[in-house]
Amino acid sequence: MSKITDNIWVGNYNDSCNDEFLKKYKITHILCCAKEITKLSDNLVTEDYTYYRLPIVEEPVGKRKFNAWFRKGAAKINEWVSKGHNVLVHCAQGISRSVSTVITYLILYKGFSYDKAYGIVQKHRVKMNPYSEFIPVLKGYEKGIRMTRKNRSIL
């Protein structure tokens, strides 16, 4: 389990089941970024936790699907963090899908470049290794942010 920001942790499936850890760090919201983890329904609220699952896979399914999943995950992280919740983002191993979702959040909602977002996550989650098909999608977010800023400055 790795603390990335004041409110965001990245981990693996086992971390998401570690009630002691979750309670110690007051994590109340859990974002699962793995299609194969079906222990919980896609959206579930229990007495202690709110869960949300994205069916992300590491196979060549196309940039559109990756883009939709990562944007949805980043929006969910932003929704929860902006309300002051502590969030665990996990996938099976906490190496690729979860870190890619957090990188997306840092780019889209914090305005970081891809390199800066990647560096922040890597500093705290050394064993990260995003799936190669994810990288162009993640880098594309930075280009989109720059184009939006450029267009705003023209107006």
Kindly report, residue by residue over 17-60, the tens digit of the pLDDT: 999 999 999 999 999 999 998 766 556 667 889 999 999 999 98
Give the pLDDT of residue 38. 77
Question: Residue 61 is encoded by which pair of tokens?
Answer: 């399914």
Q: Each residue of 60-74: pLDDT tens digit?
A: 888 899 999 999 999
Q: Where are the domains of the chain?
A: 2-154
pTM for the full model? Answer: 0.91
Q: 14 CB contacts (<8 Å, ≥6 apart)?
A: none
126: alpha, beta or left, given left = phi > 0 and alpha = psi -120 to 50? alpha
Cα distance between residue 100 and residue 115, in whole Å:
12
Q: Would you identify the CATH topology of the domain 2-154?
A: Protein-Tyrosine Phosphatase; Chain A (3.90.190)
Q: Is 43 helix (H, G, I), strand (E, B) or coil?
A: strand
The band of 118, judged by pLDDT with boundaries at 50, 70 and 90, is very high
